[in-house]
């Protein structure tokens, strides 16, 4: 018989939660033109999978097994956009661990970043990049999961 606990439901609830497939960690870069004085944010239009194609997102991707989130972020940005970046602050999300929810299967850690080498090009996973003025961040159709992150960035990056 399930024993209810005053804080967190029944033991069955806890067992169910523990047995859920663990979420996969994704990392994303909110690339601005200048970390010290940001005026623009880089958005990227996805080409796949078909369910997400055409949606705009922060570049990034899955952390591989045995890889640190920061290494994964530098690798993904280099693979996808062909640039090296310098990281700024972490953009805290609402979930435990400061991650952002991406559907049921993924959670994303996000950092501010700026390009230190190269000129971003849509090399892999995207077919178009666009620099958005900070007062016009909704000019593209963001993926639903990225929209709350963009709203947070809007507030974080707003000038004095
Ligand atoms: O880019 P990648 O396919 O490795 O990302 C894994 C999943 O994370 C995607 O299928 C997508 O659902 C989600 N994602 C997202 N927004 C991002 C990056 C990834 O919704 N900025």
Q: Bridge-partner residues for 44, per DSSP?
A: 57, 129
Between the CA of 1 and the centroid of ligand 1 the distance, in Å, is 40
Q: Bridge-partner residues for 128, per DSSP?
A: 45
pLDDT of residue 20: 56
Our answer on whether the CB atom of 62 is closer than 6 Å to any ligand 1 atom is yes
Long-range contacts of 95-101 (CB under 8 A, 24+ apart): 99/25, 100/28, 100/145, 100/148, 100/149, 101/145
Our answer on whether the CB atom of 93 is closer than 6 Å to any ligand 1 atom is no
Coil, strand or helix at 10: strand
d(CA 92, CA 110): 7
pLDDT digits (tens, 9 = 90+) for 57-103: 999 999 999 999 999 999 999 999 999 999 999 999 999 999 999 99
Between the CA of 155 and the centroid of ligand 1 the distance, in Å, is 23
pLDDT of residue 132: 98
pLDDT above 90 for 159: no
pLDDT, the chain, mean? 91
Between the CA of 126 and the centroid of ligand 1 the distance, in Å, is 12
Backbone angles phi, psi at 98, to 5 degrees: 65, 30
Mean pLDDT over 130-140 rounds to 98
Confidence class for position 140, pLDDT limits 50, 70, 90: very high
Mean pLDDT over 129-156 rounds to 98
The more confident residue out of 43 and 2 is 43
Q: What ipTM was assigned to the predicted interfaces of this complex?
A: 0.87
Our answer on whether the CB atom of 58 is closer than 6 Å to any ligand 1 atom is yes
Mutation probe of ligand 1 site: the residue of 51, 106, 126, 141 with most atoms within 8 A of C-beta? 106
Taking alpha carbons only, the member of 26, 2, 20 closest to residue 12 is 2
Confidence class for position 123, pLDDT limits 50, 70, 90: very high
Between the CA of 57 and the centroid of ligand 1 the distance, in Å, is 8
Could you tell me if 30 and 23 are in contact, meaning their C-beta atoms sit under 8 angstroms apart? no
Between the CA of 26 and the centroid of ligand 1 the distance, in Å, is 7
């Amino acid at each position: 018989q399930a024993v209810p606990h005053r804080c967190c439901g029944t033991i069955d609830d806890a067992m169910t939660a523990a047995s859920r497939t663990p979420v996969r960690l994704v990392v994303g870069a909110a690339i601005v033109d200048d970390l010290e004085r940001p005026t623009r944010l880089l958005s990227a239009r996805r080409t796949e999978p078909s369910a997400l194609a055409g949606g705009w997102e922060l570049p990034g991707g899955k952390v591989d097994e045995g890889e640190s989130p920061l290494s994964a972020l530098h690798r993904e940005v280099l693979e996808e956009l062909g640039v090296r970046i310098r990281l700024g602050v972490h953009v805290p999300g609402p979930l435990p661990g400061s991650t952002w929810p991406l559907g049921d299967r993924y959670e994303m850690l996000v950092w501010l970043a700026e390009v230190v080498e190269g000129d971003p090009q849509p090399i892999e996973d995207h077919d178009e990049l666009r620099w958005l003025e900070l007062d016009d961040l909704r000019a593209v159709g963001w993926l639903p999961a990225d929209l709350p992150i963009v709203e947070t960035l809007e507030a974080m990056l707003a000038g004095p």
